[in-house]
Chains A and B, each alone.
Chain A
């Protein structure tokens, strides 16, 4: 089977990540999976509206903007999914009565946007030095009409897919997913195959994230010594 961009079924697209590109936010990251590119800016901890104030932890807010047009309920759905993933991951107890705002802007959408958004948000949170339990990475798999499972599908493949699976895992060996969204028409067997494929792909994504963080930190420490 050949994929439109001649990748292997288990091969994710080229990863790219740039930290701290935005100057007015506390932390930012651009994360790309091939032609899918997401920019994320994080403010935090900052002042919170009294209405949202939590006495024992920080309030987490996610704003998601699509590449084209104004935000709709579709984007509200993604906001909610991303927020619920990070709510437990951010050590909000360390900053009670504050707000952590995660702004996500899709720059280019070519499939697996949700996964790219989660990855970008993780990197931006790290860049903003918001304390986290663990970093989290996400990957998407698609089961095509033929029954073949492909990882990191492009938009073209998403449209032909029978089911789409987006899973996120923490950088720990607990082995349980932080987020699962499997939709379409699938069997438990297909789900398990996608689960395994996403898990191994996320490992690669997390390794990439760690190296991106390492190079950022080493660059900064060089700057501070000179």
Chain B
């Protein structure tokens, strides 16, 4: 049916795509009021998530994560640097989320936008110390430490940046093989043997779950791009292996009660079980 056809009843009938574009809120409301979502999922249903580790052979650690139509690639490059004078035993973890115009029309070329910067910073806050022990990145105190530069590049964007980024970085860190590095105190040179890789011991793994409040009433798990555009508030819950909480981050002033947040935490526990399975044995055979 073409746009704006007048049916026999005299009502203006839109093609569904036109309706979705012209009245996005009303479009979503029609589904949500019937306890369903435009993508066919239930309110607390997450999209199918696939994790593949070791997808980039030139990086020391890498992963590709797909959450529905959101695809993200994470690569970790390890470099040697001098430590900070104030913390001679501590290495660095540098996180960088890249949301280029290639992955969605929401993002513009040039300097990183707010979403990218805020996600990078949030990842850094979540992982530094909590997951990666900075002291485990020390090669020689006061002389040389590892710098882990984690680039998290979105290839396809369909909502839920933080979940995808946290899963991708967790998987890439698990995949990480650091070359055996030796510091020569006479020459002051670090020599690394790339054939002798060793994994990094992580303090914990992180399992994220994001919930979005749409239209002030409906709380949906793992919102896609169309739903995210209408969300007034979001809740991010991050759990670790032991089921302890690592982060509860509620933004936006929608009404999310205390009980709802604790329900989100319970749902995040269910999500964690699925993710644990997905994170195991998914190394790409090379």
A interface list, Cβ under 8 A from B: 73-74, 76-77, 79-81, 84-89, 170, 174-188, 191, 195
Identify which of B28-36, B46-54, B253-261, B270-278 touches chain A.
Answer: B253-261
B121, B232, B261: the one contacting A180 at CB < 8 Å is B261
Bound CA span A81–B120, Å: 14
B interface list, Cβ under 8 A from A: 114, 117-118, 120-122, 125-126, 130, 232-233, 235, 240, 244-258, 260-262, 265
Chain A residues near B122 (CB-CB < 8 A):
77
Ordered by A's residue number, 6 sampled pairs between the chains whose C-beta atoms are within 8 Å are A74-B121, A85-B253, A178-B253, A180-B250, A183-B246, A184-B246
Chain A residues near B250 (CB-CB < 8 A):
177, 179-181
Instruction: Indicate whether A84 sits within 8 Å of B252 (C-beta atoms), given known contacts A185-B244, A186-B245, A188-B262.
Output: yes
- Is the Cβ of B256 less than 8 Å from the Cβ of A77? no
Q: B215 to chain A: closest CB distance in Å?
A: 13
Chain A residues near B121 (CB-CB < 8 A):
73-74, 76-77
Chain B residues near A81 (CB-CB < 8 A):
251
- Is the Cβ of B125 less than 8 Å from the Cβ of A183? yes
Which of B130, B250, B260: most chain A CB closer than 10 A? B250
- Is the Cβ of B253 less than 8 Å from the Cβ of A77? no
Bound CA span A80–B247, Å: 17
Total cross-chain contacts (CB, 8 A): 85
Bound CA span A170–B247, Å: 22
Q: Which residue of B lies closest to A136 (CB)?
A: B253
Q: Which residue of A lies closest to B257 (CB)?
A: A176
Chain B residues near A74 (CB-CB < 8 A):
121
- Is the Cβ of B244 less than 8 Å from the Cβ of A180? no
- Is the Cβ of A174 less than 8 Å from the Cβ of B255? yes
Chain B residues near A84 (CB-CB < 8 A):
251-253
- Is the Cβ of B130 less than 8 Å from the Cβ of A89? no
Chain A residues near B244 (CB-CB < 8 A):
185-187
Chain B residues near A183 (CB-CB < 8 A):
125-126, 246-247, 249
Q: A171 to chain B: closest CB distance in Å?
A: 13
Chain B residues near A182 (CB-CB < 8 A):
245, 247-249
- Is the Cβ of B245 less than 8 Å from the Cβ of A187? yes
- Is the Cβ of A85 less than 8 Å from the Cβ of B251? yes
Bound CA span A208–B248, Å: 28
Bound CA span A191–B250, Å: 13
Instruction: Indicate whether A80 sits within 8 Å of B118 (C-beta atoms), given known contacts A174-B255, A185-B130, A185-B240.
Output: yes
Q: A86-B253, A180-B261, A182-B245 are in contact. List 4 more A-B contacts (CB 8 A).
A: A84-B251, A183-B247, A185-B246, A187-B244
Q: B271 to chain A: closest CB distance in Å?
A: 16
